[in-house]
Each structure stands twice: as structure tokens, then as C-alpha cells.
């Protein structure tokens, strides 16, 4: 019994010794590393990894306000060439699609019947002039004889009436000559304006009539040229103010809004709003020296109606929409962000005008906001300056991180609605 108790105490003592040895061994090999690592882990929890974001500065500059629309190119003038006399076409003096100048000969109609009528009128006048000359001589003779009482006074009066009648007849002859000459001139059809001819509708050898409605060819004036476009009725007062202030610039762009085609000015605002569409029609004039605008072409338009002077401008990407409205993340000097409620006025071309909430020089986040909360630490990188497009941007452009002191912009007429 005593031997059994000793064995148990011996076993318990051995277990205690092994446990102490294991503990001190662990302390010897891992204790120092654990003690060193613990402060680092605490520091890591206290200093979270900065969130990478793209930033830009709010800047002050002039901001042009544009009204964007869609329109179509129309010729400045369109003329359907028709004959004013009947006859056979003996010559076509133009080629289809040719650019012609004012006064160029287009069509020659057989002039012989009209030339004969002119010659007949000229001969009739010469005949009447000879008769008048003889009647005037007789009048002189009768007047002399009447003084000697050789002829009755009635004879003199009758001869005077004959002379007056012949004078009036000669005037009629001259009118006939003028009319015949006009008919001869009508046989040569000339271009009434400078422009481009279309398809030829009549070939040489055909008979044309003054009553024909189909015409011979159409000429359209391309320089200058017009663009007809519309705007919402609520913008009428703003458009009229811009027109009253002077030449309101209008830019014509391709239908996708990526390429600038020509620069012109607003020339006409329609006298009434279309009740069916609620839009006001306008017409702009363009010099079109390079013929970039062509009749029937669909274009996008930008009408400059105002320029906001020295306003705070930020990239569109800096403005976010939250449950309480629009806001932006502002980066502080310690690289932490704070939310700032903002009010935006006009926007366009990737830029927004901030009315309240930001001041020039403040740094705002333009990309990477989805990971941010109030007080987040960020690692900032400036937005890469976007390469300028070959031409003007589309009327409704996407948000762009680039900004400048005087940003070109396209502004919609109403307050912006930022996508969440």
C-alpha cells in the first residue's frame, strides 16, 4: 500500500516538473517575439491603412452657360429653276452637283420665235415713226395755211390729233419691243444666286413650258448656311436676353457631340412657341467656308446664353448624392476626409459650379468615394489631366476629374441631378 502511494506521488511530481519545463521553454523561445509583436499589433489597429483616392482642387474661374439642343442644317436660300417661256431646251450649261456663281448661264431655250417677235416689234415702231414724221410735216403746212385763211381751222385740229395718236402708238410700239426683248432674255436662264446645283430634272431636247411645276434644277446656297434647332419653352427669356445683348454664339457639332463642325451666331428666334412640343424654334447662321455643314445634316447645338464670372468650380466626380442631398468629401491637412454638404448650380463638360459648401483651394475627392466615411484616412493622388479632345465635348458629357482655372463648360439649363 505504501509502495503504491509512493508511485502515485512520484508520477504527479514528474507531471509537474514536465509542465514547468515546457512553460519555461516556451517563454525562452517565443516569449521575446510575442512581447515584441504585441505593440506592433496594437499600433496596426490604431493606424489603419490609408485608402487610395483621386483628388482635385476647387478653383475659381469664369463658367460659360450653354443650352444644348438638336437641330438640322438647312440651306440659307433654295431656288427651283423653272422656265418663264415655252420652248425647246437647246443647251444645258451646267453639270449636276456643280457650284455656280450668280449670273452663270444654266439653260438655253430656243430663242428664234421670240427673236422674230422682237424684230417685228422693232419694225412696227420704225413704220409708225415714219408715219409720225409725215404727219408732223402736214401739221406744219396746215398751220401756215390756216394763218392765211387758206384752210379751215378744223383741218389743223384734225391733223394735230393724228400726230398725237401716232406719238401714243409709237410709245405702244416701244412697250411691245420691251416685252419681246424680255421674252428673248427669258430664253437664257441664269443662276439667281451662288450655290450648288442638284440633280438635273430636264435634259436637252425636251420642251419646257412656263406652267411646268417640276422645274429644271434646284440650287441651294451653302455659304452662308443655316441650322434650325429648338429649346424648351422655359428658356425663352434667357435666349431673348442673350440675343438682345449681341451676337449669341452657337456651336454646331456632329450628332454624337464629339466633333465641332462650325461656329456661328443666333440670327432668329421664332415668333411663337410650338404648343404641341412646348419648344421654341431658332435659326443660327454659319459662314460654312469649308462646307462642313450640309443641308439635311442632323447636328447637336450649343447656344451660349450667359457666362458666370469668378465662380467656384469642381469636377463633376467630386459631387455625390446622399439621403440629405448633394455632398462632397473634403481632404484635410492630415489626410483625413470630412463630408461637406454642397449646393450645385450649373454643370457641364465634366465641371460643376458650387454655389455653397466649398471654397477655392480646398481639395476634394473625385474618385474612390465608395470606401470613404467621415474621418477616413486617404492616400491622395492628383487626377491625371485628360488629353483635350480634337473638338468640343458632347452636349451631355460624363463626369471628368480634370479642372482648370477657366473651365470650358456645357451647362444644362436646370439644376443638376447627380447619379448616386
Q: Which helix (H) or strand (E) holds 153?
A: helix 153-186
User: What's the helix, strand, coil split of the chain in %, to 5?
Assistant: 30, 35, 35
Same domain, 194 and 88: yes
Domain-embedded: residue 159: yes
* Number of domain units in the chain: 2
**Domain end (from 279, 305, 331):** 305
Based on the domain organization, do 187 and 85 belong to the same domain? yes
Q: Does 168 fall in a domain?
A: yes
Task: Report DSSP state, residue 28.
Answer: I
The pLDDT of residue 96 is 94
pLDDT tens digits along 155-185: 888 989 999 999 999 999 999 999 999 999 9
Span 212-219, average pLDDT: 94
268 and 195 in a common domain: no
Tens-place pLDDT, residues 238-265: 999 999 888 899 999 999 989 999 999 9
Q: Name the region of 12 (left: φ>0; alpha: ψ -120 to 50; beta: rest).
A: alpha
Residue 419 covered by a domain: no
Regarding whether 254 and 186 lie in a shared domain, the answer is: no
Q: Strand pairing partners for 397?
A: none
Domain boundary among 186, 215, 244: 215
Q: Are 401 and 366 in contact (CB under 8 A)?
A: yes
Query: Would you say 197 and 223 are in contact if contact means Cβ atoms under 8 Å apart?
Result: no
Mean confidence (pLDDT) of the chain: 83
pLDDT for 14 equals: 63
Give per-residue pLDDT as tens, 221-242. 999 999 999 999 999 999 999 9
Both 137 and 239 in one domain: the answer is: no
Residue 337 lies in a domain: no
For residues 211 and 85, state if they share a domain: yes
Whether the predicted pLDDT of 412 surpasses 60: no
* CATH number of 201's domain: 2.40.50.100
Is residue 205 located within the same domain as residue 237?
A: no
Is position 296 within any domain? yes
CATH code: domain of residue 249? 2.40.30.170
Residue-wise pLDDT tens digits, 289-344: 999 999 999 999 999 998 889 999 999 888 999 888 999 999 988 889 899 999 99
> Is residue 418 a part of any domain in this protein?
no
- Tell me the per-residue pLDDT of 180-199, one tens digit each, with 9 for 90 and over: 999 999 999 999 999 999 99
Are residues 111 and 169 part of one domain? Answer: yes
Q: What is the average pLDDT across 199-218?
A: 94
Answer with the one of 305, 322, 351 that is the final residue of a domain.
305
Among the ranges given (163-172, 329-338, 367-376, 388-397), the one the predictor scored with the smallest mean pLDDT: 388-397
Report if residue 290 sits inside a domain: yes
Q: What confidence score (pLDDT) does residue 7 get? A: 59
Residue 100 domain flag? yes
> Do residues 296 and 231 both lie within one domain?
yes
Domain range for 153: 81-215
195 and 257 part of one domain: no
- Would the pLDDT of 24 be above 60? no
171 and 232 fall within a common domain: no
Contact, 410 vs 348, CB < 8 A? Answer: yes
Amino acid at each position: 500500500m505504501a509502495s503504491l502511494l509512493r508511485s502515485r506521488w512520484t508520477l504527479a511530481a514528474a507531471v509537474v516538473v514536465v509542465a514547468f519545463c515546457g512553460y519555461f521553454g516556451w517563454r525562452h523561445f517565443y516569449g521575446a517575439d510575442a512581447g515584441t509583436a504585441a505593440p506592433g499589433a496594437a499600433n496596426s489597429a490604431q493606424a489603419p491603412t490609408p485608402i487610395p483616392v483621386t483628388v482635385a482642387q476647387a478653383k475659381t474661374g469664369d463658367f460659360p452657360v450653354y443650352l444644348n439642343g438638336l437641330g438640322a442644317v438647312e440651306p440659307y436660300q433654295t431656288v427651283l429653276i423653272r422656265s418663264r417661256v415655252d420652248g425647246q431646251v437647246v443647251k444645258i450649261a451646267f453639270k449636276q452637283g456643280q457650284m455656280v456663281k450668280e449670273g452663270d448661264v444654266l439653260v438655253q431655250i430656243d430663242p428664234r420665235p421670240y427673236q422674230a417677235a422682237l424684230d417685228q416689234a422693232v419694225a412696227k415702231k420704225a413704220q409708225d415713226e415714219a408715219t409720225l414724221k409725215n404727219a408732223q410735216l402736214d401739221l406744219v403746212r396746215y398751220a401756215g395755211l390756216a394763218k392765211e385763211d387758206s384752210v379751215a381751222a378744223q383741218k389743223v385740229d384734225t391733223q394735230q390729233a393724228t400726230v398725237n395718236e401716232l406719238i401714243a402708238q409709237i410709245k405702244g410700239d416701244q412697250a411691245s419691243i420691251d416685252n419681246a426683248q424680255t421674252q428673248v432674255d427669258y430664253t437664257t436662264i441664269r443662276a439667281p444666286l451662288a450655290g450648288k446645283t442638284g440633280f438635273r430634272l430636264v435634259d436637252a431636247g425636251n420642251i419646257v413650258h412656263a406652267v411646268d411645276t417640276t422645274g429644271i434644277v434646284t440650287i441651294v446656297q451653302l455659304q452662308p448656311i443655316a441650322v434650325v434647332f429648338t429649346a424648351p419653352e422655359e428658356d425663352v427669356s434667357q435666349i431673348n436676353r442673350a440675343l438682345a445683348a449681341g451676337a449669341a454664339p452657337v456651336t454646331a457639332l456632329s450628332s454624337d457631340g464629339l466633333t465641332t463642325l462650325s461656329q456661328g451666331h443666333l440670327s432668329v428666334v421664332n415668333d411663337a412657341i410650338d404648343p404641341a412640343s412646348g419648344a421654341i424654334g431658332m435659326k443660327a447662321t454659319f459662314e460654312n467656308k469649308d462646307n462642313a455643314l450640309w443641308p439635311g445634316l442632323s447636328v447637336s447645338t450649343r447656344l451660349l446664353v450667359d457666362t458666370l464670372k469668378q465662380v467656384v468650380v469642381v469636377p463633376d466626380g467630386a459631387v455625390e448624392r446622399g439621403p440629405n442631398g448633394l455632398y462632397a468629401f473634403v481632404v484635410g491637412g492630415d489626410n483625413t476626409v470630412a463630408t461637406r454638404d454642397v449646393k450645385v448650380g450649373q454643370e457641364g463638360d465634366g465641371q460643376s459650379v458650387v454655389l455653397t459648401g466649398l471654397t477655392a483651394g480646398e481639395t476634394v475627392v473625385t474618385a474612390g468615394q465608395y470606401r470613404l466615411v467621415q474621418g477616413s484616412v486617404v492616400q491622395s493622388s492628383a487626377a491625371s489631366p485628360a488629353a483635350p479632345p480634337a473638338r468640343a465635348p458632347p452636349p451631355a458629357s460624363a463626369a471628368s476629374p480634370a479642372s482648370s482655372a477657366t473651365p470650358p463648360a456645357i451647362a444644362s439649363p436646370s439644376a443638376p441631378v447627380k447619379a448616386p
